Structure 1
Amino acid sequence: MSDTVVSTEGSQEKEFLGHPIGLTICFLTEMWERFSYYGMRALLILFLTKHFLFPAGEASLIYGAYTGLVYMLPVVGGYLADRYLGSRKAVTFGAILLVAGHISLAFEGPQAVIDAAGDVTRSDVHVSVFFLSLALIITGVGFLKANISTIVGALYGPNDPRRDGGFTIFYMGINLGSLLATMIVAGIGETYGWGYGFGLAGIGMLLGLVVFWKGQHLLEGRADPPNPEELKKPIFAGLSTEWLIYIGGLVAVGVMWWLVQNQALVGSLLGGTGALMVAIVLAYGFTKCTKEERERLWVATILIVFQVVFWALFEQQGSSLTLLADQQFNRDLGLFSLTAAQVQTMNPLFIVIFAPIFAWMWVKLSNRGLEPSTPAKFGIAMLLVGVGYLLFSYGLGLTDGPNKSFFWLFVIYLFMTLAELCLSPVGLSMITKLSVARLVGMMMGMWFLFTAFANFVAGFLSSLTGAEGHGTSSGELSVDATIELFHSVGLLAVGIGVVLFVLTPLMRKWMHGVH
C-alpha cells in the first residue's frame, strides 16, 4: 500500500465537474490541435507514396524524420517557457505556427508522374512548400506540446489524488480530436483530394487557437511568464527577450525545413541529444538535488528511456500499418467500408471507450491500495503491445494475397490502445510528480525528446518492411519482411515488460511515496 499523503492543497480551487476548471481549456485546445495533427498524419504516408510517388522506404524515412522532429522541439519549447515565456505565451505562439503550417499543406500541387524510363517527375516548388509546411508544424508543436501538458500539471497540487485521472481526461481529449480527424479528415482527403483533407486539418487548428485565446483567463495565472518584467526588457537592437524568442522561432522553421529533408542527420541528432540530456539530468541530480529528489529523477529517466520501444511500435500506425491496410487487408466491413487512413480511427475510438474505464479503475484500485505503481503500469504496457505484435505477425501469415481479414488489424489496434492507456497519460503525470519543480519543463521536454527518437526509429522500422529493406519503386511492402520484423519487435517488447516488473520494487523505493 502506498504511503502517499493525499491532499488537494496547491490545486486550482475553481472546479468544473470535480476537476480544476483550467482543465477544460487545456482539453479543448489540445483536442483541436490533435485534430489537425492526426488528420494530416493519417494522410501523410499515403500522400507521399500516391501523390509525390516516393518509394515506401523513402516515404517511411521522411515520415520518421518529421514525427521525430515534432517531438524533439518540445525540449527547446519547454525550456523557453520555463525560463522566459511561460506556458501560456508559448502555447499561443506555437498555435499560430501550426495554423500556418496546416493551411499551407492544402496547396498540394500537381500529381507526380512516372515517365517511360521509370523516372519520377515532381514539382520542385510544391515539394519545397510541402517541406516548409512540415517545418512550420514541427516548430509549432515544439512550442505547444510540452507546455500544454505542463499547464495541466500546474492545475493540481503535488499530492492531489485526481492528478492521474485529470491527465487521463486530458488524454481523452487528445484522442477525441484524433477520432474526429481520422474519421473526417482522412476520409475527405482520400476520397475528394489531399488538399481538402489538409485544409480541413488547418481549420481545426485555427479553432484550437481561438479556444485557447478566448479561454486563457480560466488558467488564473498558472501559465504566466515567471518574470514578466525581464521578458519585456529590451536586450538587443531595441527588441525584448520575448520578441527575440519569436524571431528565433521563425529561424527554427528554416532549420527544420532543412533537417526534415536530411533524415539520416535527424537520427544522429536525436540519438546524440537524447544521450546528452540523460547525462545532464543525472549530473544535475548528483550536484543540485537531495537524495530523495535524485532517486526520483532516476526513476523518471529509466521510464523515459524504456518508452522508446513502446512508441516505436505504436507509431507504426501512421506508416507501415497504414500501407498494409491499403495494400493487404479487406476493409469492407459489410455496412460500410473504410479508407486505408480511416483504419487509424480504431485507436482514438478505443481510447474514447476505454479511457473513462481506466480512469475509474485506477481510482477504485487506489482506494483499495491495489493500484499498480507507475513502473508496473509501464511493464503492463510493454507486455500488451508485445503480445499485440506477436498476434498480428501470426495473422499476417495465415492468408496469401491482398484480402486479409480485418480482424487482425482490430487485434493489434486494440492491444496497442490498451497498452497506451497504461503508459502515456500515466507517463505525463509521472513527469510532473517525480521532477523537481525547477526541472519539470525540462523533464517534460526530455519525455518528448525520447518520444521523438522513438518516432524516428518507427520510420526506420517501417522502411525495413519493404523489399530488400527499402521499399519498392511502387510503394509496395513485403509481407514476409513485415512478419519477420513484427515478430522480432514483439518479442523484444515482451522482454522489456518482464525487466520492468523485475525492477519495479527498487523503483518504487526510489519514488519515496510518490505513486
Structure 2
Amino acid sequence: MAAGEFGGGVPAGAKTLLGHPRGLFLLFFAEMWERFSYYGMRAILVFYLTKHFLLGEKPAYAIYGAYTALVYITPVIGGAIADRYLGARRAVLAGGVFIAFGHLLIALVEGPEGAQGGYLTGFYMALAAIIVGTGFLKANISVLVGALYPRDDVRRDPAFSIFYMGINLGGFLGPILVGILGERVGWSWGFGAAGIGMLLGLVTFVLFQGDLHGAGAPRSREALKAPVLAGLSREWTTYLGAALGVLAIGWAIQYQDAIGMALIAFLILTIGYILVHAWRTLPRVEFQRILAALYLIALNPLFWALFEQQGSSLNVFTDQQVDRVILGWNVPASVFQSVNSIFIILFAPVFAGLWTFLNRRRLEPSAALKFGIGLILVGVGFFSVIWGAGTGRDGLTPAMFIILLFFFHTCAELCFSPVGLSSMTRLSLPRMTGLMMGTWFLTMAAGNFIAGQIAQATDAENRGVQGMLDVYGQIGWFSIGVGVVALVAAPFVTRLMHLETLGTPDHALAGESQLGENEAAGLDMRGELKPGR
C-alpha cells in the first residue's frame, strides 16, 4: 500500500513548487480541465438540443435535468469503486478517458441540423460516457490532493484553496470558450474544445503522475490483477462494467420521468432507513442530531432545483430576452454562465471573513439560519430578473439584472452548500458519515431533476415571456416563504444539534478559501469529498 494513500503525504525529499508537492499542480490542471468541460457542456447543452437537434424547450429541459441529476449520482458509485478496488489514481485516469471520449464523440458525430434518430441516440451515449467519467473522476481527485499531505500538515488547507481555484478557473473558462466556439463557430468546435481540454489534462496526468509518489494506489494490486470474469482481471472487468454502464445510462436518459421517479423513490427509502436505524440504535442526543441533519437534507433539493435554473430556463431567457450587447459586442448567452464562478472566487473569502468576524462576537448564525438566508436570497434573485424585465432597449432586459441574479444566487450558494456539506459530517456519527453524505448527494441529484421539471413549466414557447416571468415569481415567493419559515424554525433545529457538546463552533463554512470547519469536515465548496471521508 502506498504511503500517501490515506493522507500519509509524499516523501520528505519530494520536489516542491511554491512550497507544495508538484503533484498538487498536476491535480489542479486535471481538475481545471474537467470542470472546463462540465461547465462548458452545461452552458450550451440546452442550446445544442434546441438549435441543432431542433427539439422543443420542454424536452430539452427534461434531458438537461436528467443529465445533471445523474452527474451527482455517479460520484457516489465511483468513490465506492475506487475505495474498494481501483484506487483513486486509476479512477481519475479512467474518468478522464470516458469524459474526453464523450465530448469528442459529440464533436465528431454531430450530424446535420435537425437530425435525430441515430444521431440523437449517439448523443445520449456520449452524455452517458461523460456521466460515467464524472463519477470516476469527481469522487476521487480531491482524495488525491489530501493524500499528498500528512494529516497534521499546515499546508493542507492552503493546498485545497489552490485546488479549489482550479475548479472555479475551469468553471469560469468553460462557458466562455466552449460557449463562444459552440454558438458562434460551430457546435462541434465547442464540444471538441471541451474534449481536447480533457485530453490535455489526461496527457499531463499520465506524464507526471510520478509526482503523486504512489498516492491513490489500489488497496491490493494483487486483487486488482486477479482474473474474475472470462480471464479478465478485476481492473478490466471494472472498466467493462463502466462501459456497459454507459450503454445502460444512454438508454435510460431517454426516459427522464422514469429516472426521476426511481431517484425520488430511492431517496425516500434511504431517508426512511436512516430514520429507523437512528431511532433504534442511537442515544437521544445523537438521534436528535440526525433529525437536524435530515431537516437540512430536506431543504437541499429546493435550493438546487431553483439554483440550477441558471443552466436551463435562465440560459434560454438570457438568450432570448436579455440585451447582451456589451461594449459593442453581442455576448453569447452561454458566456453568462461564467459569472457564478467569478462571484464565487470574489466573495468566498468575504463570506469566510464575515462568519469569522461574527463568530468572534458570538453573533454568527447557525447552519439552520444560514439555510433560511440562502433560500431567501435565491428568491430575491428571481425578482431581480422580474423587476428588470423589458426595461432596456427594444423591450429587452438589461444584462445587469441577470448578473444581479447571479450575484444573489452566488451569495445563497455560499450560505447553503458548504454549510450543509460540513453539517453532514458534524452531525452524524463516523460510522454514518458516508451514508449521510451519499444522501446529501442524492438530494442534490433530486434537486437537479426537479430543476428540469420547473424549467419545463416556464415553457416560453407556449406561455410567452410573461408566462416565464410568472413562474419565476411563483418560485421566488415560494423560496422566500420557505426561507422565512426556516428562519423561524432555526432555533428549534439548532437545539436538536446540541452544538454545546460537539466541541467546535459553527463557523468557517463559507468556502474552500478559508481555514476551519469546512476543511476539518473534509469537504470542498462544490461537494468534493476530501481525504479521510
| In structure 2, C-alpha distance between the alignment counterparts of 1:449 and 1:144, rounded to whole Å | 18
> In the TM superposition, what is the alpha-carbon distance from 1:297 to its structure 2 partner?
4.5
- Quick one: distance in 2 between partners of 1:443 and 1:207? 35
Deviation at 1:184, TM superposition (A): 1.2
Structure-2 change in CA distance of 1:343 and 1:75 (3 Å)? same
Please give the alpha-carbon distance, in whole angstroms, between the structure 2 residues aligned to 1:94 and 1:215.
17
* Residue 125, structure 1, aligned to residue 118, structure 2: yes
User: Which residue of 1 is the match for residue 271 of structure 2?
Assistant: 278
C-alpha distance 86-276 of structure 1, shift in aligned 2 (>3 A): farther
Corresponding residue for 1:351? 344
Q: Which runs of 5+ in 2 are unaligned?
A: 1-6, 507-533
Check if 1:55 corresponds to 2:56. Answer: yes
d(CA) in 2 for partners of 1:486, 1:142: 32
Higher RCO, 1 or 2 (CA under 8 Å, sep at least 6)?
Answer: 1
CA distances 1:362-395 after superposition (whole Å, capped 9, x unpaired): 4555566555443333333222112111332333
Deviation of 1:500 after TM superposition, in Å, equals: 3.6
5 Å-filtered alignment, 1:26-175, equals 26-113=27-114, 122-151=115-144, 170-175=163-168
Aligned positions, number: 492
2:513 matched to which residue of 1? none
Q: Give the corresponding residue for 1:489.
A: 475
What do residues 389-427 of structure 1 show as CA deviations (whole Å, max 9, x unaligned)? Answer: 133233336579752222221111111112122233444
Percent same amino acid among aligned pairs? 44
Distance 1:255 1:453 in 2: 20
Q: Cα deviation per residue 1:223-266 (whole Å; 9 max; x = unaligned)?
A: 34345444443334333433322211111101111111111111
Are 1:390 and 2:383 counterparts?
yes
Distance in 1, Cα, partners of 2:273 & 2:219: 23
Match of 1:254 in 2: 247
One-letter amino acid of the structure 2 residue matched with residue 62 of structure 1: I
- The amino acid across from 2:378 in the alignment is V
- 1:447-487 deviation digits (Å, cap 9, x = unpaired): 322211111111111111115xxx45xxxx62222222111
What is the deviation of 1:218? 5.5
Q: Is 1:513–2:499 an aligned residue pair?
A: no
Secondary structure at 1:111 match in 2: coil
The one-letter code sitting in structure 1 at the alignment partner of 2:472 is F
- The Cα shift of 1:90 comes to 2.2
Q: Write the distance in 1 (CA, Å) between the matches of 2:428 and 2:24.
A: 21
What displacement does 1:137 show? 0.6
CA contact (8 A) 2:391 2:398 kept: no
Q: Could you tell me which amino acid in structure 1 is paired with residue 72 of structure 2? A: Y
After superposition, the C-alpha distances for 1:423-460 in whole angstroms (9 at most, x for unaligned) are 33444444455555555555443332221111111111
Return 137-146 or 77-86, whichever deviates more.
77-86
CA deviation string 1:97-145 (max 9, x = no partner):
11111111112534335xxxxxxxx242322221111010111112222
* 2:371 matches 1:378: yes
**What is the TM-score normalised by the length of structure 2?**
0.81
Could you tell me how far apart the structure 2 residues matched to 1:403 and 1:377 are?
34
Q: 1:489 to 1:164 in 2, by over 3 A?
A: farther
Q: Following the alignment from structure 2 to structure 1, what is the Cα–Cα distance between the partners of residues 482 and 427? A: 22
Structure 1 range deviating more: 217-226 or 135-144: 217-226
Deviates more, 1:187-196 or 1:155-164: 155-164
Which has the higher mean CA deviation after the structures are superposed, 280-289 or 29-38? 280-289
SS at match of 1:235: strand
Q: Are the structure 2 counterparts of residues 216 and 53 from structure 1 closer, same or farther at C-alpha, using a change threshold of 3 Å?
A: same
1:22–1:429 Cα change, 3 Å: farther
Report the more deviating stretch, 144-153 or 96-105: 144-153
Taking the TM superposition and a 5 Å limit, the aligned residue runs for 1:149-228 are: 149-151=142-144, 170-214=163-207, 216=209, 223-228=216-221
| Distance verdict in 2 for CA 1:109–1:234, change over 3 Å | closer
Partner of 1:322: 315
Contact 1:43 1:189 in 2 (8 A): yes
Deviations 1:295-333 (A, max 9, x none): 555444432331111111111111111111111111012
Relative to structure 1, the CA distance from residue 508 to residue 336 in structure 2 (aligned partners, 3 Å threshold; closer, same or farther) is farther
Structure 1 pair 212–449 and aligned structure 2 pair: CA distance change class (3 A): farther
The TM-score, its normalising length taken from structure 1, stands at: 0.84
| Cα displacement (A) at 1:59 | 1.0
The residue type paired with residue 256 of structure 1 is I
* Equivalent-residue separation in structure 1 for 2:367 and 2:211 (angstroms): 30
Unaligned runs of 5+ in 1: 1-9, 114-121
CA contact under 8 A between 1:79 and 1:441: conserved in structure 2? no
CA 1:153/1:431 → structure 2, altered by over 3 Å: closer, same or farther?
Answer: farther
Query: Would the aligned equivalents of 1:386 and 1:490 in 2 still touch at CA under 8 Å?
Result: yes
Change (3 A) 1:171 1:187: same
Q: Are positions 1:313 and 2:306 aligned together?
A: yes
Report the more deviating stretch, 328-337 or 450-459: 328-337
